[in-house]
Amino acid sequence: MRTTDTSTGPTTPTSPRHSHEIAAAVTLPSAARALVAPGPLTTAGGIAVTTACGALSTRVALLGFLADPDADDPIGISGHDPFTDPMPSALLGSGPEPDRDRVRRAGDRCVDAWRQWSGDRDSGQSVVGVGGALGLGAWCAWALGAELRAETRARYALDLRADDPLAQLVLRSCTLGIRAAWRG
C-alpha cells in the first residue's frame, strides 16, 4: 500500500520494525562457529558476528553456547526466549567453568569484528550489531576475570550504543567488583 506525504511525495511502507532481530536469528549458527573456529576471523565471520549480535536474544544464546563446556556444534542454536527459556547461569558467572581458551578466543573475535567494521564502515554492518559484539566481548573478558579489559570493552560498546543492556551489565559488574564464581 502506498501513502502520500504532502511534504515529500509518495512513500512505501517501511521494512519490518525488527528486521535486525530476524537477521540476527538467521546468522546465529554462523556467528557461533566464527567465534570458536580455529584460525583468524574472516570478513564473512565478522559480518556474521556483528549481525547475530544485533539482538539481545541472540547474544544471550551465544553467551550460553560459549559458556557451555559440552557445546561443540552450534547447528541447533536458537535465540533465547525470555518467556520460556531460563536465563543462562553463565550470564552472572555461575555454573560450570567454561573453557577459558574458547571464551578468550570468542571475546577477541568480537573485538576483531569491531575492528573490521571500524576499517570499513560502509560494509552494511549496523552500529547496533557492532556495539552488541563489543558487549559480548566485554562479557567474555569479565567471565575470565579480566575486569579492566571487560570495562574497556563495555565502555566502547556503550559509546556505540548507550542503551546496550549486556554492556551495561558488564560495566556495572566491573564497577561494583562483582566477579564470576564458576564451579571448577
* Domains of the chain, first to last: 18-68+96-176 (1.25.40)
Q: Which of 141, 150, 24 is nearest to 32 (CA)?
A: 24
pLDDT score at 18: 62
pLDDT score at 127: 85
Q: What is the rounded distance in angstroms from the CA atom of residue 155 to the CA atom of residue 171? A: 7
DSSP 95: S
pTM, rounded to two decimals: 0.86
Q: What is the rounded distance in angstroms from the CA atom of residue 48 to the CA atom of residue 58? A: 12
Q: What is the rounded distance in angstroms from the CA atom of residue 151 to the CA atom of residue 147? A: 6
Give pLDDT tens digits along the chain (184 positions). Answer: 444 444 444 444 433 346 778 888 889 999 999 999 999 999 999 999 999 999 999 999 999 999 998 888 898 898 898 889 999 999 999 999 999 999 999 999 999 999 999 887 666 667 889 999 999 999 999 999 999 999 999 999 999 999 999 999 999 999 999 999 998 6
Residue 153 makes CB contacts below 8 A (sequence gap 6+) with 107, 110, 111, 134, 135, 137, 138, 141, 167, 170
